[in-house]
Structure 1
Amino acid sequence: MSAPTAAPERLPSAAAATAHQREWFGGLVERVRGGEALALANADAPHEVLRALDVPYVVNQWWSSIISAKRAGPASLRAVAAAGLPDYSRQYDVLPLGAQGLLAEDAPWGGLPAPRFAIAERGGDVTHKIFEQWGRRPGTETFLLSRTAADPAPEGWWDLVTHRWEEVFGSPRIDLLQGEIEDLITWLEARLDRRLDRDRLADVMALANEQAEWNRRTRDLLASARPLPVPVTDIIPSVMVPQWHRGTRWAVEAAERLHDDVARRIDARAAVAPRERRRLMWIGRGLWSDLDMYRSFQEEFDAVFVWSMYLAIAADGYARYGEDPVRALAARFVGLTDLLYVPPMSSSWYVKEALAHGVDGVVHLVADDTPGGALISAALEDRGIPVLEIRGSNADARATASVRDRIAAFLRDRVPASA
């Protein structure tokens, strides 16, 4: 058997996705300047309705990641504080609000055009308040959906949720969100003076399901690959850029390209770290302001991050099949946060993923809106997988300044090298 070879610097699908997103954003700005209404949607809002109505939209958390990556996070948080609002809570959600106060030359990509609609769900005590602030800006209206409490989920929900989602989430929860999505559709129709084409929505849902199936195949390839053939910093944009274009043929083709790129790297015996001896899992949102961190432990520790939630939840969390596209869409979003953050749904899934990927240690970034973090960490520790918990926001460098040092100490003290 031939020895592993070093992986090229950049995955083609990652470069293509990044280039597409910049080009797409330029086109979006031109559409808004031409008079079209822009929507700002939270990550767990039903984007597919906007897609089917042909409303250009930006995802709040995606824009936060751009703000962080372009080093505009500190200035955006200062703008939040200057407006008399807290800059120490839900920074990842509030960054775009603060960035609206930046001058065009200081804002990423020239800044986000003023949205006509701001759409989110009432998560926790803060998210809806942030979106209410958007609704107080001239020309912007807010629409809020309900967040319901999680029911105990069947074991192995990831094998049930694509088709048997009524069993996973419960019909009453889905009923409520379905009704509110119908209200959102009526609300948008009145303001846009157009009607939703239900067949078009069904097509959008079908394309999103096709995309999720490609992501599942890619996740399964990477779970079984030894050594890691592709850096996680290439996987994240290759997955997340198409996620924000769910329901388009481009997104499906991008997911297929990622799969094929990964398969070729595996066939070529490529390796991110040819001497790989420690496999790490990153739980929590990405550290967008310091993506180089994920590759910084390869030389000293032969350690690689083999897992992030972005590909994994895209593989297990989004596919929903059903005859009624609005109800299937409600099933997609009614419990998405539960799958990531609410034990035992979340904790059992992270354990499943850690075991499948052969993880030796976990770095768990616990934000202020993830109260189940300690239970997730405990479930992994119970399976003999050491966990480093870091409390803080991925969007606030003040809270994550010592991440590299803490991970290095964790690798030295608690994560033994494998043979």
Structure 2
Amino acid sequence: MSEDRIRAAARAVEHQKQWFQQLRTQAAEGAPIALVNADVPHEIFRALDIPYVVNQWWASIIAAKRRGAESLEALRSRGLPDQSLQYDAMPLGEQLLPEDRRPWGGLPRPAFAVAERHGDVTQKVFEQWSTGSGAAGETEVFLLSRTAADPVPDRWWELVPHRWEEAFGAERIDLLQAEILELTAWLEERTGRRLDRQRLAEIMRLSNEQAEWNRRTRDLIASCRPCPVPVRDVIPAVMIPQWHRGTRWAVDAARSLYEEVRERVESAAAAPGPETGSAEERLRLMWIGRGLWSDLDLYSRFQQSHGAVFVWSMYLAIAADGYIRYGEDPLRALAARFTGITDQLYVPPWSAQWYAKEALSHGVDGVVHLVADDTPGAAFITEELEGSGIPALEIRANNADQRSSAAAGIPERIAEFLRSRVSR
């Protein structure tokens, strides 16, 4: 595996920096911007030309720039918790930092903050955006409902592209569709804009095309030995375009990632040797959970010492399987896209069955599962993996809070896991 950063990752990071500065300029000129959680239907904001920042992406920047601890300390100084759902809360604390300590110049004060009620704490965090006790004080908040499935469909990834009514059930989709209409009217009233359904349909078409490219890339990486690209580069190369879903730039970025991976595979096949990484990849690993933003080097740290390579993260895999929704009604297809996104990643048996499928298709020898405080059913995921013959290590820590990850001793626990449980 080459140590050189893949071009797709470098281009994506540079694009995001430029885009964020443009967003800051728009906000300074009076344009309303939105802060949205990852489980919110972003496509509505794009169709209404409302610039938006994804809460989790901004938290990842705060953590990567080593501003996480002081952002959380700023919350604690206001009497707010700093040890619960740090990934959601960190952007709130960043608003309280001195100007010269805020990453990339700081997130402009959002006019709107929107999240799904996937837990009491998330709702409490987002309510703080409107109260003024945590940060903005002039931000309006909109909260979407969280629903659950019963019964749970088998092999959901085969159903969701076209048979999403069957996968999620009409009642769940009905509720979210109604709430998306309510959110749309709420935004229209505040901005004076009107939703163009034809534009929304085009945004959905482009985002489906993007997902198809991501699926090709995921499948190509799964089939290759050794892994042609480092996970730490795949994450930004796929996730930055995810936050721009529904644009031609995002589709082109997804295609260029696939083409670069294919180019590396073909190059390795034509001239195999030490530079391809084959001598270094003795073990293949899977990382379940959110990215460890304050220590992305972790994903390559065990290659030299143990010949262990992380070949999988949820970011490319969910971009491949989780977002494709075809249908004549773009609004209903959008509701179907977000009805079960949390189930697919975090709620067994949805998540457990999917992770086992991905582990087997990628031929991994072991799984490291970073379990956050809002992640239910980790034991069921471990049981599914172990039942498939794949050893799994659970580590309970917050991915964005460096204090939490340091206390968990993540590198030491992975090293011991490799020594004691993972072998050919």
**1:84-105 deviations in Å (ceiling 9; x for gaps):** 1111110001000000001121
Matches within 5 A, 1:161-180: 161-180=160-179
Deviation (angstroms), 1:283: 0.2
AA at the equivalent of 1:61: Q
Q: 1:86 aligns with which of 81, 102, 110?
A: 81
AA at the equivalent of 2:90: L
AA at the equivalent of 1:262: V
Distance 1:138 1:127 in 2: 17
3-state DSSP class of the match of 1:363?
A: strand
Could you tell me whether the CA contact under 8 Å between 1:320 and 1:331 is conserved in 2? Answer: yes
Aligned to 1:409: 416
Deviation (angstroms), 1:157: 1.1
**1:32-65 deviations in Å (ceiling 9; x for gaps):** 1111001000000010000000001000000000
Matches within 5 A, 1:295-334: 295-334=300-339
Deviation (angstroms), 1:273: 5.7
Q: Is residue 224 from structure 1 mapped to residue 231 from structure 2 by the alignment? A: no
Deviation (angstroms), 1:275: 2.5
AA at the equivalent of 1:404: P
Could you tell me whether the CA contact under 8 Å between 2:225 and 2:278 is conserved in 1? Answer: no
Q: Is residue 350 from structure 1 mapped to residue 355 from structure 2 by the alignment? A: yes
Deviation (angstroms), 1:272: 4.5
Could you tell me whether the CA contact under 8 Å between 1:362 and 1:385 is conserved in 2? Answer: yes
Deviation (angstroms), 1:300: 1.1
Distance 1:321 1:51 in 2: 19
Matches within 5 A, 1:117-156: 117-136=112-131, 137-156=136-155
Aligned to 2:368: 363
Distance 2:123 2:91 in 1: 14
Could you tell me whether the CA contact under 8 Å between 1:230 and 1:272 is conserved in 2? Answer: no
Distance 1:86 1:365 in 2: 21
3-state DSSP class of the match of 2:193?
A: coil
Q: Is residue 399 from structure 1 mapped to residue 407 from structure 2 by the alignment? A: no
AA at the equivalent of 1:94: A
Deviation (angstroms), 1:274: 3.1
Moved more, 395-404 or 353-362: 395-404
3-state DSSP class of the match of 1:296?
A: helix
AA at the equivalent of 2:117: R
**1:328-364 deviations in Å (ceiling 9; x for gaps):** 1110001100001111111000000000000000000
Give unpaired runs (5+ residues) of structure 2.
Answer: 269-274
Could you tell me whether the CA contact under 8 Å between 1:38 and 1:116 is conserved in 2? Answer: yes
Moved more, 265-274 or 376-385: 265-274
Deviation (angstroms), 1:282: 0.2
AA at the equivalent of 2:410: V
3-state DSSP class of the match of 1:207?
A: helix
Aligned to 2:19: 24
Paired residues, number:
412
Could you tell me whether the CA contact under 8 Å between 2:173 and 2:335 is conserved in 1? Answer: yes
Aligned to 1:244: 243
**What is the CA RMSD across the aligned residues, in angstroms?**
0.9
Deviation (angstroms), 1:152: 2.9
Could you tell me whether the CA contact under 8 Å between 2:63 and 2:402 is conserved in 1? Answer: no
Q: What is the TM-score normalised by the length of structure 1?
A: 0.97
Aligned to 2:44: 49
Give unpaired runs (5+ residues) of structure 1.
Answer: 1-5
Deviation (angstroms), 1:154: 2.1
Aligned to 2:379: 374
Q: 2:101 aligns with which of 102, 106, 109?
A: 106
Moved more, 128-137 or 329-338: 128-137
Could you tell me whether the CA contact under 8 Å between 1:282 and 1:364 is conserved in 2? Answer: yes
Could you tell me whether the CA contact under 8 Å between 1:44 and 1:120 is conserved in 2? Answer: yes
3-state DSSP class of the match of 2:218?
A: helix
3-state DSSP class of the match of 1:105?
A: helix
Distance 2:383 2:371 in 1: 13
Aligned to 1:258: 257
AA at the equivalent of 1:411: L
Aligned to 1:280: 285
Aligned to 1:293: 298
Percent identity for Structure 1 against Structure 2: 65
Moved more, 175-184 or 375-384: 375-384
Aligned to 2:271: none
Deviation (angstroms), 1:405: 0.7
Aligned to 1:3: none
**1:261-296 deviations in Å (ceiling 9; x for gaps):** 000111111634633111000000000000001100
Q: Is residue 187 from structure 1 mapped to residue 186 from structure 2 by the alignment? A: yes
AA at the equivalent of 1:135: S
**1:200-250 deviations in Å (ceiling 9; x for gaps):** 111111111000000000000000000111000110000000000001000
Could you tell me whether the CA contact under 8 Å between 2:129 and 2:139 is conserved in 1? Answer: yes
Distance 1:93 1:251 in 2: 25
Distance 1:151 1:289 in 2: 37
Q: Is residue 73 from structure 1 mapped to residue 68 from structure 2 by the alignment? A: yes
Matches within 5 A, 1:378-389: 378-389=383-394
Deviation (angstroms), 1:8: 4.6
Could you tell me whether the CA contact under 8 Å between 2:168 and 2:340 is conserved in 1? Answer: yes
